[in-house]
Amino acid sequence: MRAWSSRVCLTVAALFLLLLTAVPAHAAPTASAGTPGGTPAGLPAGPRAEAPTGAAADLSAPGPHAVGYSDVNVSASGRSFSARVYYPAVSAGGNTAVAAGRFPVVSFGHGFFQGIGKYASLGRHWASWGMITIMPASQGGLFPSHSAFADDLNAALTWMVQQDTAAGSRFGTHVRTDRLALSGHSMGGGASVLAAARNPGVRTVTNLAAAETNPSARAAAATTRVPMQLVAGSRDTVAGPSGHQIPIYEAKPAPKQLRTIVGGFHCGFTDSGGLGCDSGSIGRAVQQSITKRVTTSWLLYHLADDGGQYDAVWGAAARTDPAVQFLGVE
């Protein structure tokens, strides 16, 4: 029985790694100029919420908002799937009222064979800082379609925008429709790059251990002009920087940055481990604290127009952070 269990574990682990096959790095194209704090061409001014003030705050700690959540059925752009939404709320809990104001939206893609519950802490964290975060539960099987997952991430954004004016929606008049972002972990990170290349309404991307996909996330990055932040772990042995995040970074025109957490590992971005997981030289709690700090400053800067985050995103604080290696072109 023990031998049979071992063979099953090895088989599933092999499938896991097969879908995250590394690709060799490529030479970087000439970077183009960009303005990370500006409005991408074609985006309307749109309704605004009062921007959070997080420059002097500890962005690894929860923000000023209580967090609500709601399990929803998304139907938009020809796509249908279930998802969970975390949002700034009047009081914490399921299906509570949304807090006053309009809030940006982040669509987040889970990793291969990972449930969206493994990213609950990050969804709650971003919501506490004023970001509506929607996590599609689609493409969760052994043979996911990366292209379809990218379409689902964009459909989730479209659905959230529709909710701003939908009769009876709890999110009515609460969505900042001109401040949309994409994110994800591993497979979902790669899918977020594919989605950004297809969606001119997206303002920015931040992702975690983004993996190369089929079709290629690296090729999609080469056509993506919005600011992109790639967060990696230096000890990632599943979808490590050399075969995944670095090629995507090198293909991407500026503005772009690669933030590598020293000692970070692939499964350190999830709330718990599982079959096929690796380990790093720092603990999961430490890595998640760093991840929350780095990604929240990026989202506040690009989605909430919080110029006070510049130092944490592009300035000396970012470039000399002992916990996170910096590579970027502003």
Task: Report the chain's terminal Cα–Cα distance, integer Å.
Answer: 56
- Residue 135 contacts residue 87 (beta carbons within 8 Å): no
> Taking Cα atoms as reference points, which of 34, 46, 42, 32 lies closest to residue 305?
46
Q: What is 55-67 written as a DSSP string?
A: TTS-TTS--SSEE
Euclidean distance between CA atoms 247 and 243, whole angstroms: 7
Euclidean distance between CA atoms 168 and 174, whole angstroms: 12
The C-alpha R_g of the chain, in whole angstroms, comes to 18
Q: Which two tokens stand for residue 287?
A: 């890595």
Which strands make up the sheet holding 256-261, listed edge to edge?
93-94, 66-76, 79-89, 132-136, 103-109, 175-184, 204-208, 228-233, 256-261, 324-329
Q: Which two tokens stand for residue 27?
A: 């030479």
What is the chain's length? 330
Q: What is 145-184 written as a DSSP string?
A: -HHHHHHHHHHHHHHHHHHTTSTT-TTTT-EEEEEEEEEE
- Residue 112 contacts residue 238 (beta carbons within 8 Å): no
CB atoms within 10 A of CB 123: 24
pLDDT given for residue 55 in this prediction: 56
Buried residues in 91-114 as b, exposed as e (16+ CB within 10 A): eeeeebebbeebbbbbbbbbbbbb
- Residue 251 contacts residue 29 (beta carbons within 8 Å): yes
The H or E element spanning position 83 is strand 79-89
Return the amino acid letter for 311: D
Residue-level pLDDT, tens digit, the chain, 330 residues: 333 333 333 334 434 443 443 333 333 333 333 333 333 333 333 333 344 455 569 999 999 999 999 999 999 999 999 999 999 999 999 999 999 999 999 999 999 999 999 999 999 999 999 999 999 999 999 999 999 999 999 999 999 999 999 999 999 999 999 999 999 999 999 999 999 999 999 999 999 999 999 999 999 999 999 999 999 999 999 999 999 999 999 999 999 999 999 999 999 999 999 888 999 999 999 999 999 999 999 999 999 999 999 999 999 999 999 999 999 999
Euclidean distance between CA atoms 116 and 283, whole angstroms: 21
Strand 204-208 relative to strand 175-184, pairing: parallel
Euclidean distance between CA atoms 135 and 86, whole angstroms: 8
Euclidean distance between CA atoms 235 and 217, whole angstroms: 21
Euclidean distance between CA atoms 10 and 221, whole angstroms: 33
Q: Which two tokens stand for residue 214?
A: 């089929």
